[in-house]
Structure 1
Amino acid sequence: MSDVRQQIEEQLRTIEKEEHVRILYACESGSRAWGFPSRDSDYDVRFIYVRPVEWYLSIFEKRDVIERPISDMLDINGWDLRKALNLFRKSNPPLLEWLQSPIVYRENYSIAERIRDISPLTFSPKSCTYHYLHMAKGNYREYLQGDQVKIKKYFYVLRPILACEWIEKHGTMPPIEFDRLVDDLVPKGSELRAVIDRLVERKRAGDEMDYEPRIHPINEFLEGKMAYYERAAAGMQSADGGQVEQLDDLFRSALKEVWE
Structure 2
Amino acid sequence: MTIHAERLRGAGLPELTPALAQRGQPLLFATVSGAHLCGFPSRDSDVDLRGVHLLPLADLIGLREGEETQTRMWEQDGLELDLVTHDLLKFARLMLRRNGYVLEQLLSPLVVHTSGVHAQLVDLAPGVITGHHAHHYRGFARTQWELYEKTGELKPLLYTFRVLLTGIHLMRTGTVEAHLPTLLEHVTAPGYVRDLIHEKAVAEHGLAMDLDPRRVRADVDVLHEVLDDAQRDTRLPGEPTAYDALHDLVVRTRVAAA
Q: Give the TM-score category using the shorter length.
A: 0.7 to 0.9
Partner of 1:66: 70
The CA RMSD measured in Å over matched residues stands at 3.0
Give the TM-score taking structure 1 as reference length: 0.80
Amino acid at match of 1:15: R
Partner of 2:180: 178
Comparing both structures, which one devotes a greater share of its residues to helix? 1
Partner of 2:5: none
One of 195, 200, 204 as aligned partner of 1:198: 195
Q: Distance in 1 between matches of 2:219 and 2:80?
A: 34
Amino acid at match of 1:34: C
Q: Distance in 1 between matches of 2:195 and 2:241?
A: 44
Partner of 1:38: 42
Q: How many residue pairs align between the two structures?
A: 244
Partner of 2:239: 240
Q: Distance in 2 between matches of 1:49 and 1:211?
A: 38
Partner of 2:146: 141
Q: 1:57 to 1:5 in 2, by over 3 A?
A: farther
Q: Would you say the 8 A contact 1:66–1:77 is kept in 2?
A: yes
Map residues 42-57 of structure 1 onto 2, 5 A cutoff: 42-57=46-61
Task: Report whether the alignment pairs 1:13 with 2:21.
Answer: yes
Greater C-alpha Rg: 1
Q: Distance in 2 between matches of 1:247 and 1:91?
A: 14
Q: Distance in 2 between matches of 1:87 and 1:133?
A: 18
Q: 1:183 to 1:228 in 2, by over 3 A?
A: closer
Shift of 1:233: 5.0
- What SS does the aligned partner of 1:125 have? coil
Q: Which runs of 5+ in 2 are unaligned?
A: 1-7
- What SS does the aligned partner of 1:183 have? coil
Give the TM-score taking structure 2 as reference length: 0.81
Bigger mean CA deviation after superposition, 77-86 or 235-244: 235-244
Amino acid at match of 1:133: R
Q: Distance in 1 between matches of 2:255 and 2:233?
A: 41
One of 155, 167, 172 as aligned partner of 1:169: 172
Q: Which runs of 5+ in 1 are unaligned?
A: none
Q: Would you say the 8 A contact 1:151–1:209 is kept in 2?
A: yes
